[in-house]
Chains A and B, each alone.
Chain A
Amino acid sequence: ILNVEQSPQSLHVQEGDSTNFTCSFPSSNFYALHWYRWETAKSPEALFVMTLNGDEKKKGRISATLNTKEGYSYLYIKGSQPEDSATYLCAHYGQNFVFGPGTRLSVLP
């Protein structure tokens, strides 16, 4: 059974701090790595789709990197804002989508 892990499970940061989380996954049968942001009472929102080893993607203050050989992806948030508070999910897409348990981020004003 494919196991996707995320760390930390949760974290609290002050507004303005930069932060990063990790998603680790088996490097076999890899096709894509997806990042989603899930705010309470809303739909999970797609952030990035990453397919190539060494991929780096950026959207505003959020960026992500991918290492398919060692099986990890980092998500970075620069200058966190309270509106960044959400659960960040990664999903390994090979044969099926397998989600990690998420990292719950709270940004304190």
Chain B
Amino acid sequence: DTGVSQDPRHKITKRGQNVTFRCDPISEHNRLYWYRQTLGQGPEFLTYFQNEAQLEKSRLLSDRFSAERPKGSFSTLEIQRTEQGDSAMYLCASSPVSGIANEQFFGPGTRLTVL
């Protein structure tokens, strides 16, 4: 399967714990995006990498959130001291620099539940 993959698919954690999610983009794609989606809403942009450089971060991304893409391939999103409001679907997407109007290819998401 050469699509975008995310791991884990589901995560249940207790409030205050740290969690880390992984995204493996399509191999030749330079751009990688993280989104958060809550019930009844569309995906909301969190952050964007071009290769290993984090070029943009949303105001939604509080200090408890950090994302890395150390070698310009896979990316991790860490949430520290989770809160119940962090419960959401976290989506990763990738796109090639030469794509059509920045067409993005999505992974299946990681569903986080904070108890």
Contacts and interface: CB of A to CB of B under 8 A. Distances in A.
Interface of A: 4, 6, 9, 31-32, 34, 36, 41-46, 49, 51, 89, 91, 93, 96-102
Q: Which of A43, A99, A100, A102 has the most CB of B within 10 A?
A: A43
A33 B94 CA distance: 17
Q: Which of B3, B48, B91, B106 has the most CB of A within 10 A?
A: B106
B42 A51 contact: no
- Chain B interface residue bracket vs A: 20 to 34
Given A96-B56, A97-B33, A46 B45 contact: no
A43 B106 contact: yes
A98 B103 CA distance: 13
Interface of B: 3-4, 33, 35, 40-45, 48, 56, 91, 100-109
Contacts of A42: 108
Give 6 nearest A-B pairs by CB, closest first. Answer: A99-B42, A32-B101, A44-B106, A43-B106, A43-B108, A99-B43
Contacts of A49: 100-101, 103
A91 B42 contact: yes
